[in-house]
């Protein structure tokens, strides 16, 4: 079983749609959680950290369920510019090491 699992997609949605991505992680000792965005042939860029209480940044909402070892990302009012691969990332706390999920590809169509 992979340490961090995501549905690879692609998710094809029209502009303005709401889309949700899910992620599960296997290490219950994981300490911090993130969503990164990666554009084609570019480095990943931090989208947002994920907190147990849930957090929102504009159109983006992230949720963490430690009991189920599950993380989600909700994007409201999708824009064409949201098209990218979204990476679920977990820090197990061992040497600051990040473990990346396989990524979920989002394509927003006009």
Partner 1 sequence: GAVVSQHPSWVICKSGTSVKIECRSLDFQATTMFWYRQFPKQSLMLMATSNEGSKATYEQGVEKDKFLINHASLTLSTLTVTSAHPEDSSFYICSAVGDNYGYTFGSGTRLTVV
Please select the residue that binds partner 1; options are 1, 68, 97, 110, rule is CB under 8 A. Answer: 97
Please select the residue that binds partner 1; options are 1, 14, 29, 43, rule is CB under 8 A. Answer: 43
Rounded CA-CA distance 15/12 in Å is 10
The four Cα atoms 10, 11, 15, 19 give a dihedral, to 10 degrees, of -140
Instruction: Look at the chain and count its residues.
Output: 110
Please select the residue that binds partner 1; options are 1, 14, 41, 67, rule is CB under 8 A. Answer: 41
Can residue 42 be called a binding residue for partner 1 (CB under 8 A)? Answer: yes
Q: Record the tokens describing residue 70, joined without a space.
A: 């599950």
Can residue 1 be called a binding residue for partner 1 (CB under 8 A)? Answer: no
Please select the residue that binds partner 1; options are 18, 45, 51, 54, rule is CB under 8 A. Answer: 45
Distances in Å between the Cα of 47 and the Cα atoms of 5, 33, 103, 104, 110 are 18, 11, 13, 14, 23
Nearest distance in Å: CB 13, partner 1: 20
Can residue 96 be called a binding residue for partner 1 (CB under 8 A)? Answer: yes
Rounded CA-CA distance 101/108 in Å is 21
Can residue 93 be called a binding residue for partner 1 (CB under 8 A)? Answer: no
Can residue 22 be called a binding residue for partner 1 (CB under 8 A)? Answer: no
Residues in contact with partner 1 by CB under 8 A are 41-46, 87, 95-103
């Amino acid at each position: 079983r992979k340490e961090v699992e995501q549905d690879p997609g692609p998710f094809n949605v029209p502009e303005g749609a709401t889309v949700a991505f899910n992620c599960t992680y296997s290490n219950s000792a994981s300490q911090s959680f993130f969503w990164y965005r990666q554009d084609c042939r570019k480095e990943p860029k931090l989208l947002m950290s994920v907190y147990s209480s849930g957090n929102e940044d504009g159109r983006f909402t992230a949720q963490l369920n430690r009991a189920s070892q599950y993380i989600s990302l909700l994007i409201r009012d999708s824009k064409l510019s949201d098209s990218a691969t979204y990476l679920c990332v977990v820090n197990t706390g061992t040497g600051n090491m990040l473990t990346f999920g396989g990524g979920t590809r989002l394509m927003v169509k006009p």
